Structure 1
Amino acid sequence: MSRSQMFFLFAAFCSAHPELILGQNCSENCNACGGPEKDQCLQCHTGFSLHNNICVDIDECGTEQDQCPYNTYCLNSHGSYQCRACDKACIGCMGGGPARCRKCAPGYRSSGMKCIDIDECSEEGLACSGPNVFCVNTDGSFHCQCAEGFTRKGSSCERDLSAAGELKGLFDDIQDDEIAVLQQMFFGVVLCALATLAAKGDLVFTSIFMGALAAMAGYWLSDKSDRVMDALMKGR
């Protein structure tokens, strides 16, 4: 039977059964058929190819019919395909994941047929230099971070004023007159203790008490005389 005769018979059959042209009773993926079975397809939907009256999926990725942009890869689907982004470790790829890279992206290097992150913080000649700064590795890169209590100003890390204030000693803000009062209180407590011991008749503690009392009196008189002289000098 010639091709023209086959076409004539097919046209006559379609005229007698218009519902088959529309694919209403055809199997999945068939656009036109000679019956409901999957091996009776005459025309396939887009994305499928007719083989022995059966519609099979076209692998657009395998036949290079895809139009995926740069740095993406083709993933075949039922009757179509998808373009998916390459792994961030890749520059160009043949599939998903860092093991399908055509080339490793900056910040990554090839190791065992796979692109892995470079730990810049362990490399020699690190860019994070200077005191009070340390390196923080990230996926594909790194950044320099100031230590706790320091803030980056320009190219260096300087101590925070608030943090510096928190590190002050217990007596950093004490005034001179407050120091004098504390000294007097201290000497008073010592003298009281020595007086208690001297009252028991111990000659050693009695001698220490008398010496401390004399020293305290001398310090007090010298301090008073200094204040009197200072007042007289300011009064002139």
Structure 2
Amino acid sequence: MLTLCVVLFLLLPASSLGNNCSEHCKACGGPERNQCLQCLPGFTLHDNVCVDIDECGTDLGKCPDNTYCINTHSTYECRSCDRACMGCMGSGPARCKKCAPGYRSSNLKCLDIDECSEEVLPCSDINALCVNTEGSFQCTCAPGFTLKGTVCVRNQTPVGEEPGLFDDLQDDEVEVLKQMFFGVILCALATLAAKGDMMFTSMFIGAVAAMVGYWLSDKSDQLLGSFLRGR
């Protein structure tokens, strides 16, 4: 039977070898769609009709890891999975076979994990700030600090420029000083109203007590260093 088909194929006129055949036919017995005898690559003969081969549904579609197969006219394409996936069955984070690192399954989708909001902070350096990124996170140094190796180090004062005594005061510390200052003023005014000439003595004692109490807390080292430098 095979020999007879080969002989018949060889005896076909030149016009039947694709010139007057229907679409997708390489050889035919006539111009009609159901008169195909041989199909073009990517098609298979079924009841004398050339039908597109779905390579993705057969072993013909060979796609590498982390890609998925898309059948096209006479061939197929391999397209990349979503970045949230490790292997997939189609496009998008809802077609993942498994979630990639930095993602977790939620409502049948692989969604980004916000590492910065986790209970255990990912940045080990207390002077670093966590910034969430797609699938991961970054640790950046807080303002006033620079990354040296793996540690955030406080920026150094330029050579020849000594830091001022009040340069590193925080907002809450400034507020405390304001309250102390106003307290001294009120005390002085009260003394002036009661005794008159004791105003300056009261102001002096109140101011000295307030300043000594503040600087002996957590600024004593800076005050001593400034004093020794003659500041």
Q: Normalization by structure 1: what TM-score?
A: 0.62
Residue 83 of structure 1 pairs with residue 78 of structure 2: yes
Distance, in Å, in 2 between the alignment partners of 1:119 and 1:98 is 16
Query: Which structure: greater helix fraction?
Result: 1
Within the candidate set 10, 13, 32, 1:17 is matched to 13
| 1:83 positional shift | 1.4
Q: Which runs of 4+ in 1 moved over 4 A?
A: 3-6, 162-172
Unpaired runs of at least 5, structure 1: 173-236
Within the candidate set 133, 136, 141, 1:138 is matched to 133
**Could you list the per-position Cα deviations for residues 89-111 of structure 1 after superposition, in whole angstroms to 9, with x for gaps in the alignment?**
11111111111111111101011
Aligned residues: 167
Structure 1 pair 142/161, CA: closer, same or farther in 2 (3 Å)? same
**Could you list the per-position Cα deviations for residues 37-78 of structure 1 after superposition, in whole angstroms to 9, with x for gaps in the alignment?**
222211111111111221111101112321112221111111
Within the candidate set 154, 162, 165, 1:159 is matched to 154
1:7 alignment partner in structure 2 = 5
**Could you list the per-position Cα deviations for residues 158-206 of structure 1 after superposition, in whole angstroms to 9, with x for gaps in the alignment?**
232368999966999xxxxxxxxxxxxxxxxxxxxxxxxxxxxxxxxxx
Is the Cα–Cα contact under 8 Å of residues 68 and 78 in structure 2 kept in the other structure?
yes
Unpaired runs of at least 5, structure 2: 168-231
Residue 47 of structure 1 pairs with residue 45 of structure 2: no
2:103 alignment partner in structure 1 = 108
Identity of aligned residues (%): 60
Structure 1 pair 39/104, CA: closer, same or farther in 2 (3 Å)? same
**Could you list the per-position Cα deviations for residues 2-51 of structure 1 after superposition, in whole angstroms to 9, with x for gaps in the alignment?**
x579738844xx63522212x12212211111222222211111111111
Distance, in Å, in 1 between the alignment partners of 2:7 and 2:150 is 85
Is the Cα–Cα contact under 8 Å of residues 149 and 163 in structure 1 kept in the other structure?
no
Q: Tell me, what secondary structure is at the counterpart of 2:55? A: coil
2:63 alignment partner in structure 1 = 68
Structure 1 pair 66/171, CA: closer, same or farther in 2 (3 Å)? closer
- The code of the aligned residue for 1:7 comes to C
Distance, in Å, in 2 between the alignment partners of 1:115 and 1:27 is 47
| 1:123 positional shift | 0.4
Distance, in Å, in 1 between the alignment partners of 2:2 and 2:120 is 79
Distance, in Å, in 2 between the alignment partners of 1:126 and 1:165 is 39
**Could you list the per-position Cα deviations for residues 99-134 of structure 1 after superposition, in whole angstroms to 9, with x for gaps in the alignment?**
111111110101111111100000011121333321
Distance, in Å, in 2 between the alignment partners of 1:28 and 1:166 is 84
